[in-house]
Structure 1
Amino acid sequence: MTRIGGTAGVPELEPEVFDDAIVAVSLTAGPDHRLVYLNDAFRKLFGPRDIGARAADAFTEPNAAPFIVMLDQVYADRIARQVTSPRTTEGTAPGAPGRRHFMYSASPVVSRYGAGVLAVAVDTTAQVDATERAEELSEERHRALRRYEALMSAVTQIVWLMKPNGEISELVGGFEEFTGRPWRPMIDTDWLEGVHPHDRGHLLRAWEEAAADPPSFFVCTFRLHTASGEYRHVQSRAVPIVRGGVAVEWIGATADIEDQWRNRLRERLLARVATVTAADDVPEAFAAVAAAVVPELTDACAVFLLPVPGPSGGGGPLTATRVAAVARPGLPELPPLANQTHTVGLIAQQVIESRRPRLLVFPSGRPPAGVVPEVSLSWLRTARATSLTLVPIVIDSAVVAFACAAGCADSPPPGPADQELLGEVLHEVREPLRQALELQRTRHTALTLQRALLTPTPRVPGAELAAHYQPASRTAEIGGDWYDALLLPDGSVTLSIGDIAGHDLDAATSMSQLRSMLRVIAFDQSMPHTPAESLAQLDRVADGLAIAPLVTAVHASLTPGRGGRWHAAWANAGHPPPLLLPVGGPPRFLEGTAAELPLCVAPTTVRTTWHHDLHTGDTLLLYTDGLIEVPGTDLADGMRRLALRAEAGRTAGMSLTELCAQLLAAVEDRRDDAAVIGFRPTAVAGVWPAGWT
């Protein structure tokens, strides 16, 4: 068979041999690609073009630019090229048939016009009905097929012919060189051995659908084992040759598309990794990392977080916590994340110390002991794992975690390209993971500061006093809430609760300053203050020192009196109102006649002190909005829910400590930190101060 290429000793191409071909053929000549020949099939597919015009002037469609570039390349290096994925013409040229789909190739040739490029396009639009297919089975189609075979021999593609009974023959060879396996004349189970186990079912289903009555165009992408020992993605396309409404044979081509497939996969994975930036905490960030690589690169992926500062710290065995795990559909259910630490095995330690990935291959369902925790090993056995790839995750020159990717259900081990891409994806998430880890460290610092300042409540004779604080469910929401209780020398008690705008370390620091200043103001009895005056003074100092942008607070003074009664006086600076649970009535909120401004807004505003008497068994609760605020609901609904829960707890005979803990535990998916402090008179405690009756 003569290969057309324009080299010495090769006859010139006579383009007229393609006059009756059913594939579209065009011929250009010279470096500016003058159009010297078009056949009728070309005009039917793309519309008429001017003979003698430059290709750039003849093909002016917006999507024709890649075709012009291909002409330049083929003319320059004399290497044939093809486009195997469908392209589309909208049929905007005069006389064009409308929107059509096609594939094309370009080969260097020499004709009577000199050196040029022969372009062949195949119409891949939906097949015509059986009658038209039968007409296409004329002798002309066979001649065109042989011509197309000659052109395709210049490119890396296997062209084959298959009969309905599975007999298959190569028209353009290359199978044995590509796979390292001899060509088999029959499609059978032995032939399928070379197909990746996970792709065999997909390949068979695609063929059955194409071969169904009536037969249709077949296209399938799958992995084929190569002579190098790894799998590469190939794409097979075939059309039926129909006689009398029956497919008598199939003509098809199989091309290596590994590079294109991997480039598209890399783009998809890196785009998916962008979701890590939306993670609110470290486990969520690592879960997004694991989800990004499953199932395209691995069947399952788990991430193990190392303790700060990492493997270089302290003595004793190195431990890690499994913070994320994802598996593809069809595998056994993963064990739940229990936030338990596990000793890191020797192989994982070597990966951490060397900062290099490690691939372990083993018999199906028999992973080596000690690589991952026993709970993970048990799952790997059940999932019939065959390989583990351990990849260190390095941030700021320190290994903060390692990923363990598993091939399961008898999967072949990943090839070098898969391992390289897995490492690249994990490398790309360093910055968002760094941000998540830094946010976690900031949260831990703020929480430590906050809890250090929220001291235990004092013992108050004649009353029960309890307080609880709970950080938010989400990493960012921490640092702004506080409570305080102070027993004064005269036997009275001050209660305070507040919330500072912001949920970070700055908010926690501001909280510590405001809490301390209010304690000083309340304790200084040389110049007694009402609650309103105490808040007004705090407002002026906080504003003058620019401690915080916005603060809400309730400050109350509780004075013991006759018969176990306590007198409550309080002021409210833009905070949710106190909740009273009276012994002899329904719960109610102690709201003033008008809401007053938060602190740090208008420091000269006049504030009001409100009063109420508490009797033995009454319960007074001060709380922050994290206890009543639920996204998407009205704040009044949250207050009603709080009152109902508090009343139910009091009715159930809960102690004040139990009641405060129960109120915090009842809030699901808390987006904000929350605090509550409660006061309940229990017995006779002294006398009323002078002036009160």
Structure 2
Amino acid sequence: MADSVPVEPEDLLTAFDSLEAGVILTDRDGLITAVNPHALQLIGLPGRTVVGKDFHELLHRREDGTLAPREECPLVAVLEETRMVLVTTDSFLRGDGSLLPVSWSGAPVVRGGATTQVLTLFGENDEQREKRNHQAAHLAAMEDLAERLSLVQEITDVLTQTLEAEEALNRLGRLVVPRLGDWVTVDLREGEEGVRRVAVVGPQGREGEAETGRDDTTLMPESASAVLSRVLRRNESLLMTREEIEAPPESPRAVVHKFLHLLGATSAAVVPLSTPRQVVGALTIARTDPERPFRPDELPLIRDIGRRAGLAIDNARLFERQRDVAAMMQQHLLPALPDIAPLRLAARYQPAPRGSQVGGDWYDALVLPDGATALAVGDVVGHDLSAAAGMAQLRNMLRVLAWDRAEPPSLIVGRLDDAMSDITDVQMATLLLARIETVGDVGGPGARWRMRWVSAGHPPPLLVTDEGRAQYLEQGQDLLLGARAEVQVERADAVEPLPPGSTVLLFTDGLVEMAGSDLDTGMNRLRRHAIALAGRPPDDFCAQLLERMPPGGSDDIALLALRVPDAG
């Protein structure tokens, strides 16, 4: 009787209810009287289908899945011999029909000197547990790999969605936090020795805690062993431990080290933003949880992110240089306005916002041999230097055709359309050409003006009277240049008298097209502002229009305003 366990069954249930092993109680007939939650989890059966069932018939199976004779069941020895039994290799039948390899032990529950129940304690055997742990580790590794691939794909998509470098880096930071770290900072090289912090992203609501020094250019740390020096000069990728972060920085200009100190970081990864030609900056990802330091196997992923970000920055800078050259080229190619007193002219050209593609918007004004004035605004379809070059070709060609003959704008634009594809590199363009003509003696009291024009797919001119009425002149519309069918259709001119004191505004679509807004809304907004500015001098009229139009446009803008003198 030395192996007996004189204890109440209720006490046993209380003691083993939360045990991380299966516990089953059976009576002398082998019927299950109680079972703990972990046992139900292992065998995959609900408690209501287990209690009252024969333990041997319900669960006990050989390795081949067959039911062994009852007399071979080791639990019989527990009852008959009142002793403990240990079985290291056995199988229990699970609810889904599979076999669960187990090791188990049985002990008699004795009351009044007699065995009344049997307590069975079981769990997966070591081999099965090791196999399960291996499978779990493999699954976790696959999930981790899938998560990393997903993150890299998202980062690649984000970096290619904008050609504005600093906006792309801030978007990158918002993807990395909190998936890879708690804080992210990006420092870009400025010249040979300068470093400028351009992005700081942290937990939601806390970004301002690390804004000190952002957008300030500092010198690269002098010490060759300083973190930034190693990353920017040697193209190294570094992991920093808590001890390294808490150590005093080697240089007062070690901006990365100061940043980590400020945040109380306990681990950090610093990698170069690199291209095949150069290192353009450094990406720092910091963690503040001491229980979650960076592991060496995480560094290749972070370095790959840095490489992708470096290529995105390089592409953005190349685009910005090209864009700046195109904008400067357009500015220099736009003409000085002629003096056509008593009429007055004003014009404005506004490049596209930084990070947007440059179009081919332009304006022109030319006094013709017969004394009339030609006004033109246009937009060459295309971007960057090709659009700027095409704009120059088209403008010069239009000047020659307008000067060559005294004819209506429709005929001039028709000849331009016929020759454009053969003489220029422009494939398509919009254009509005107007001829300002006098009616009566220009110097006399009855002098009047009228506008004759044709539009090749261009927004209509806006006529604003000095009384504050405004209307779009929708007549004279035709196909844009380069889109005419093989069968030629004659373009038609429109004619409109210009009241004394009125203003005619010619403009390109960048003035009225805004992100998140339809064209009608933009046209109505322009009309309201033009009415409010009707009495302003032409220069102020154009400047105020540009200031009043809301941000959100992504195209460049060309404006040309003509003011007719007041009566008398």
State the TM-score, normalizing by the size of structure 1.
0.57
Map 1:182-581 → 2, pairs under 5 A: 259=141, 262-276=144-158, 278-281=160-163, 282-306=165-189, 311=192, 318-329=193-204, 331-333=206-208, 340=215, 342-346=217-221, 347=226, 348-359=228-239, 361-363=244-246, 369-372=252-255, 383-386=263-266, 389-408=269-288, 414-429=294-309, 435-473=315-353, 475-488=355-368, 492-524=372-404, 527-545=405-423, 547-559=425-437, 561-562=442-443, 563=445, 565-581=448-464
2:545 equivalent among 645, 663, 671: 663
The size of the alignment, in residue pairs, is 463
TM superposition shift of 1:642:
1.0
> 1 CA distance for matches of 2:542 and 2:60?
82
Q: Structure 1 residue 338: deviation in Å?
A: 11
Residue 602, structure 1, aligned to residue 484, structure 2: yes
1:257/1:635 CA distance change after superposition, 3 Å: closer
State the TM-score, normalized to the length of structure 2. 0.68
Q: Give the equivalent residue in structure 1 for 2:25.
A: none
| Separation in structure 1 between the aligned mates of residue 336 and residue 342 of structure 2, nearest angstrom | 18
**Match for 2:202: what amino acid?**
A
How far the C-alpha of 1:544 sits from its partner, in A, is 3.0
- Aligned partners of 2:140, 2:323: CA distance in 1, in Å? 45
Could you list the runs of 5+ residues in structure 1 that have no partner in the other structure? 1-18, 26-37, 53-94, 105-117, 122-137, 159-234, 236-254, 312-317, 686-693
**Highest CA radius of gyration, 1 or 2?**
2
TM-superposed CA distance for 1:660, in Å, is 2.0
The one-character-per-residue Cα deviations of 1:510-562 (angstroms, maximum 9, x if unpaired) are 222111211222334xx323222221121111133463332211112224624
For residues 456 and 201 of structure 2, the distance between their equivalents in structure 1, rounded to whole angstroms, comes to 48
Take 2:359 and 2:212, find their aligned partners in 1: how far apart are those partners? 27
Equivalent residue, structure 1, for 2:530: 646
Query: CA distance change for structure 1 residues 678 and 328 in 2, over 3 Å: closer, same or farther?
Result: same
Q: 1:671 to 1:385 in 2, by over 3 A?
A: same
Q: Which of residues 506, 509, 516 is equivalent to 1:625?
A: 509
Residue 361 of structure 2 contacts residue 556 of structure 2 at CA under 8 Å; is this kept in 1?
yes
Q: Which letter maps to 2:463?
A: L
Query: Distance in 2 between the 1:456 and 1:546 partners?
Result: 23
Shift, 1:579, TM fit: 0.3
8 Å contact from structure 2 (residues 267, 290) kept in 1: no
Distance 2:320 2:60 in 1: 64
Cα separation, 2, equivalents of 1:120 and 1:471: 76
CA distance in 2 between counterparts of 1:626 and 1:339 reads: 33
The alpha-carbon distance between structure 1 residues 668 and 416, as it changes in their structure 2 partners (threshold 3 A), is same
Q: Following the alignment from structure 1 to structure 2, what is the Cα–Cα distance between the partners of residues 301 and 466?
A: 48
Contact 1:479-1:503 at 8 Å conserved across structures: yes
Paired amino acid for 2:333: L
Query: Separation in 2 of the partners of 1:589 and 1:349?
Result: 61
- Alignment partner of 2:530: what SS? helix
> Structure 2, unaligned stretches of length 5 or more?
1-29, 33-38, 45-55, 68-92, 104-116
The residue type paired with residue 549 of structure 1 is Q
Compared CA separation, residues 451 and 96, structure 1 to 2 (3 A): farther
Mapping for residues 41-190 of structure 1, pairs under 5 Å: 41=59, 119=101, 140-142=119-121, 144-145=122-123, 148=124, 150-151=126-127
Deviation readout 1:297-334 (Å, 9 max, x if unpaired): 22111223445xx64xxxxxx33554433212363436
Task: Give the alignment's Cα RMSD to 1 decimal.
Answer: 4.4
State the Cα distance separating 1:669 from its structure 2 match.
1.1
Taking a change above 3 Å as real, the CA distance of residues 39 and 399 of structure 1, as seen in their structure-2 partners, is farther
Q: What is the deviation of 1:51?
A: 6.5
What's the counterpart of residue 676 of structure 1?
559
Task: Encode CA deviations 1:156-208: one digit per residue, 9 max, x unaligned.
Answer: 979xxxxxxxxxxxxxxxxxxxxxxxxxxxxxxxxxxxxxxxxxxxxxxxxxx
Answer yes or no: is the 8 Å Cα contact 1:477–1:503 preserved in 2: yes
Query: CA 1:515 to 1:411, structure 2 compared with 1: closer, same or farther past 3 Å?
Result: farther
CA 1:358–1:380 in structure 2 vs 1: closer, same or farther (change >3 Å)? closer
Deviation at 1:577, TM superposition (A): 0.7
Contact 1:574 1:598 in 2 (8 A): yes
- CA 1:491/1:359 → structure 2, altered by over 3 Å: closer, same or farther? farther
Secondary structure in 2 aligned to 1:362? helix
d(CA) in 2 for partners of 1:656, 1:139? 103
What's the offset of the Cα at 1:488?
4.7
Structure 1 residues 497 and 51: CA distance shift in structure 2, 3 A: farther
Amino acid at match of 2:420: A
The answer on 1:611 being equivalent to 2:471 is no
- 2:299 maps to amino acid: Q
- TM superposition shift of 1:498: 1.0
